[in-house]
Structure 1
């Protein structure tokens, strides 16, 4: 259930912009959680903005040291090392993250599954694949995947993976959660505007200097020089899951790098799914799930979340939007 960095473009963002009331806008790019983060803060002066960017970085690093599945000693690493052996006591924060992920698994019937981390990497999207993996290899690749084998105990705050070799990972929601937390921290410290962009899992609040909203362009997956739409955001989040750079084709069928955790086969039918709403964590879970579910089932899922909007682009260029999306879109991109 891997997810590429979405193409979300911040329109007309400058690194430092002064206005009459002495506000400045500053942006810094850093590598955290194995991905690029772009942190933008509007503050009274440059040093204040830099100090608050440092605070966001520290918060994201703290989260990484809780939920990384590749760093030794994190709570998630301990859960994975004790799969099939014993339950692991975790912090309330990690317990609630796992609990929310399992809820997503239930409402999507497993199209979303944090135990995808145990999936064998038999699909390659670097141009080296010359033929389809065998049906047996595909079936075996997901043998250790299955959210129903994750056991939570709220009384002891423990997580137990029932099968040896099982693993969980927050590749589909962790960066969105970090973006949400960075925004919440800044709001609690009185910072009135900014963006935490976690490789495309983007949380905004307030507005930039000299503008009424943050302008975010959604890249056309068939032509990166143009946009599917330009969003005007205040306190919102937006994520895009897409397959237009990492895919393979066999017998005229396009197979995306986002893998269905139930079947082991790559998702087909959609080239991108963008979700807009209050939480980047939730939007990320929805966009990833929709890529696996496809347009019909994906739209049925979206109907359960009226605070969230979506824009889907199919492999053949059709553009589909949820009923509550009021912006202008082309009906077809190619």
Structure 2
């Protein structure tokens, strides 16, 4: 809208006034006549009322809940092409316009982070993790601040539990090649030993917005934390955009945003490792995060034996302590890291870790394979959980 110059505005009023004065002078000379000024005022009043009525009608029409795009109802979508080789499901209640805005935020966040954390591809407008790994040793590589954030989170998680180690990229990439092969086969044991390096985290140097790898043994792989971090980032951005509550799930990385408006519990299923339905039900009123690591999400079978995609950095081989572990905490990235670490530990060791660092977790193991009294048992599984979850988790009927 063009802004009217104050002087021209005053000139217009002066012009109208002058015309009215001339009309009055003319009429006084010509004798009595109809009062034109009153008619003019009435016309302006009628016109103003009409414009106001039209504006009010337009406003209330646009705000009408029944108008397309404004109807408030529960909406959900599953995105299958935003990266991380996983579907992303989002659910909330609101208008179509708001929902579409939220979906755009989710899409852009996952696509952006998928490229930044990619250890296998490069991109023209971003510095991916592959470029960090491919750089000559002792060469600082400037990266996006989100890469620094994930690495700092990973270093912190490693200090809590050394079973979580993003510097073991050589080892995890060796196993990835085995998983992706047309004919599944275990990597050569000598290659596994050569790829292991318990000291490689010390070869990762973070300074300002740069990462330096100081020896050939170190290579970064964010696969055990990237989805958790990205899901948390997407949830934070959604709330900044005005989302009051919603459900976000990226392949077992769940963020519950806000409290439900009907004050009902969030009800989340924890999957049966041998089926597509839920084995357990978790209930909570409060927003929180859940991340599950399991041997059923990605695995290969060799000679009738199942090998999960989660590699124990100490042994160099896939962990086999349980079928799944679900960690519940306020931060999704931390949940993701800790679920990976706990999957590589025995359940008794994991319980001690949870107690020390105030984590909640639930484990599912094949029946009779753990020397502990379970909290629940089925024909196939024994279920264990930390004390804080015993009033919130039930067996699904």
Shorter-chain TM-score: which interval?
Answer: 0.7 to 0.9
> Corresponding residue for 1:238?
290
Single out whichever of 45-54 and 280-289 deviates more from structure 2: 45-54
> Corresponding residue for 1:261?
313
| Inter-CA distance 229–133: structure 2 relative to 1 (3 Å threshold) | same
Structure 1 residue corresponding to 2:363, chosen from 307, 312, 320: 312
Q: How far did residue 302 of structure 1 move?
A: 1.4
Question: For structure 1, which runs of at least 5 residues remain unmatched after alignment?
Answer: 1-20
| Inter-CA distance 188–164: structure 2 relative to 1 (3 Å threshold) | same
Q: Secondary structure at the match of 1:217?
A: strand
- Indicate conservation of the 8 Å contact 1:319/1:329, yes or no: no
1:217-274 superposed Cα distances (whole Å, 9 cap, x missing partner): 1122244444223333541111100003625476x97643311123211101211000
Q: How far did residue 195 of structure 1 move?
A: 1.8
> Corresponding residue for 1:38?
89
1:170-203 superposed Cα distances (whole Å, 9 cap, x missing partner): 2111111111111111211221111221111111
Residue 86 of structure 1 pairs with residue 139 of structure 2: yes
| Inter-CA distance 97–32: structure 2 relative to 1 (3 Å threshold) | same
> Corresponding residue for 1:272?
324
| Inter-CA distance 63–29: structure 2 relative to 1 (3 Å threshold) | same
Structure 1 residue corresponding to 2:205, chosen from 136, 151, 170: 151
> Corresponding residue for 2:106?
56
RMSD: 2.9
| Inter-CA distance 301–253: structure 2 relative to 1 (3 Å threshold) | farther
Greater strand proportion:
1
Q: Could you tell me how far apart the structure 2 residues matched to 1:212 and 1:312 are?
A: 26
Bigger Rg, structure 1 or 2: 2
Give the TM-score, by structure 2 length.
0.68
Question: For structure 2, which runs of at least 5 residues remain unmatched after alignment?
Answer: 1-69, 368-380
Q: Could you tell me how far apart the structure 2 residues matched to 1:271 and 1:145 are?
A: 29
> Corresponding residue for 1:138?
192
Larger relative CO (CA 8 A, sep 6+): 1 or 2? 1
> Corresponding residue for 1:23?
72
- Indicate conservation of the 8 Å contact 2:327/2:335, yes or no: yes
| Inter-CA distance 328–183: structure 2 relative to 1 (3 Å threshold) | closer
Q: Could you tell me how far apart the structure 2 residues matched to 1:48 and 1:218 are?
A: 30
> Corresponding residue for 2:386?
322
Give the TM-score, by structure 1 length.
0.80
Counting matched residue pairs gives: 304
